Amino acid sequence: MSFPDDKEILTLISTDATRNDGYRMLVGKYKEKLYWHIRRMVHDHDDADDILQNTFLKVIRHIAGFQEQSSLYTWMYRIASNETLNFLKAGSRTAAPAQALAMAAATDHHDSPSADMMLDLLARALDTLPDKQRMVFHMRYYDEMPYQQIAEITDTTVGALKASYHHAVKKIEEYIKERA
């Protein structure tokens, strides 16, 4: 399905007669991207779903105040990122994925690491990073976002982001070297 551009969606939302259609298009256009951004951080589908729902509730509640100083996607991504970080800070992080990954790796006794084992190892390495550093890594590596866009989302300088990403990569490399 093809969605209209953000300007058209915002116009639909600003008009009483088409507001619900605008919201449906907004959710349809960005739901999957935001879900996977959140899911990579929290691992659990139900937690990611809850955070995504909270994200869209905040977006809908505050869209009238959206000033278009950044793209709509960047603004929504920032809200999703903040909601995810708040969830993680609240101690709601599920330990089960890391434990399950560790158990799976421990029970696999092959001489050479399989692709699944390496992905599990990477996931465990990512779980050792501080939340914000992990988020920067996800945005840069998985979402292939330019540093400038990440800076807008995280309200951080490009230089600090590059340093954070570099440190994350080094920590991941060390973690994997120690365990591979």
Q: What one-letter code names the amino acid at 174?
A: E
Residue 117 confidence (pLDDT)? 81
Residue 113 confidence (pLDDT)? 52
Q: How far apart are CA 31 and CA 149, in angstroms?
A: 19
Out of 3.40.50.200, 1.10.10.1100, 3.40.309.10, 1.10.1740.10, select the CATH number for domain 1-94.
1.10.1740.10
Residue 104 confidence (pLDDT)? 40
**Cα dihedral across residues 137, 140, 144, 150: positive or negative:** positive
Among the ranges given (2-16, 94-108, 126-140), the one the predictor scored with the smallest mean pLDDT: 94-108
Residue 92 confidence (pLDDT)? 54
CATH 1.10.10.10 for domain 95-180: yes
Mean pLDDT estimate for the chain: 85
Instruction: Return the domain boundaries, the chain.
Output: 1-94, 95-180
What does the pLDDT average to over 147-151? Answer: 92
Residue 177 confidence (pLDDT)? 86
Please give the structure tokens belonging to residue 103.
């158990």
**pLDDT band, very low/low/confident/very high, at 100 (cuts 50, 70, 90):** very low
Q: What is the pTM of this model?
A: 0.73
**pLDDT band, very low/low/confident/very high, at 119 (cuts 50, 70, 90):** confident
Other residues' Cβ atoms within 10 Å of the Cβ of residue 66: 15
Answer whether residue 142 shows pLDDT above 90. no
What does the pLDDT average to over 125-153? Answer: 91
Using one digit for the tens of pLDDT, what is the confidence trace for 1-14?
688 999 999 999 99
What does the pLDDT average to over 109-129? Answer: 75
3-state DSSP assignment of residue 61:
helix
DSSP secondary structure code for residue 112 in this structure: S
